[in-house]
């Protein structure tokens, strides 16, 4: 299941050797010296944090939602619209932003029915970790994550307890 999860989290873009190497690195998180700073972790915590670290080039990370937006936009050849504001100039809160972003991502990419933004919890920072997956794969990602006791969820249905980050 971990192999399928990593494949889906990387939009099935990795060569078989790359995928196998990445899965082995995540699966071997308990022996990874880069993760030995985590005190008394559960196997699920190790995998969760290994995913955050090992998928770094696929993840938009920031402590402010507008920073994450810029990184998400950079994933596309044609950038997204600027970070939205209310008519009175106030910034969008995370939930408002995710609701605004979702239909824009659904229109991107011919394969997989567009994209959907998923959020990965980490146990080591206050940063938001977001990644794009094919919309048609997002339910399966959440299903596998749940089966593996990992914290990955749809941005529009989030419950990770994220604080406003503006």
The pTM for the full model equals 0.88
Please state, as a whole number, how many other Cβ atoms lie within 10 Å of the Cβ of residue 166: 14
Whether 50 contacts 59, CB under 8 Å = no
Of 136, 94, 98, nearest to 115 (Cα)?
A: 136
> For the segment 1-60, what is each residue's pLDDT rounded down to a tens digit?
999 999 999 999 999 999 999 999 999 888 888 888 888 888 898 899 899 989 999 999
DSSP lists the bridge partners of residue 129 as 61, 120
pLDDT, residue 158, reads 67
115-130: b (≥16 Cβ within 10 Å) or e: bbbbbbbbeeeebbbb
> For the segment 98-149, what is each residue's pLDDT rounded down to a tens digit?
999 999 999 997 666 899 999 998 777 888 999 999 999 999 999 999 999 9
> For the segment 82-96, what is each residue's pLDDT rounded down to a tens digit?
999 999 999 899 999
Distance CA 15, CA 59 (A): 18
Whether 144 contacts 4, CB under 8 Å = yes
State the pairing for strand pair 115-120/59-62. unpaired
pLDDT band at 163 (very low <50, low <70, confident <90, very high): very low
pLDDT band at 166 (very low <50, low <70, confident <90, very high): very low
Distance CA 95, CA 6 (A): 26
């Amino acid at each position: 299941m971990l192999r399928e999860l990593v494949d889906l989290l990387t939009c099935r873009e990795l060569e078989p050797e790359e995928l196998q190497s990445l899965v082995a690195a995540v699966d071997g998180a308990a022996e990874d010296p880069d993760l030995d700073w985590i005190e008394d972790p559960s196997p699920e915590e190790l995998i969760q944090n290994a995913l955050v670290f090992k998928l770094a080039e696929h993840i938009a990370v920031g402590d402010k939602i507008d920073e994450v937006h810029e990184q998400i936009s950079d994933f596309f050849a044609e950038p997204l619209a600027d970070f939205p504001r209310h008519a009175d100039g106030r910034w969008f809160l995370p939930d408002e932003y995710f609701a605004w972003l979702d239909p824009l991502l659904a229109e991107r990419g011919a394969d997989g029915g567009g994209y959907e933004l998923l959020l990965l919890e980490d146990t080591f920072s206050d940063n938001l970790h977001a990644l794009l997956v094919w919309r048609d794969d997002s339910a399966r990602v959440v299903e596998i994550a749940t089966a593996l006791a990992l914290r990955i969820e749809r941005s529009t249905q989030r419950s990770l307890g994220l604080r406003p980050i503006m």
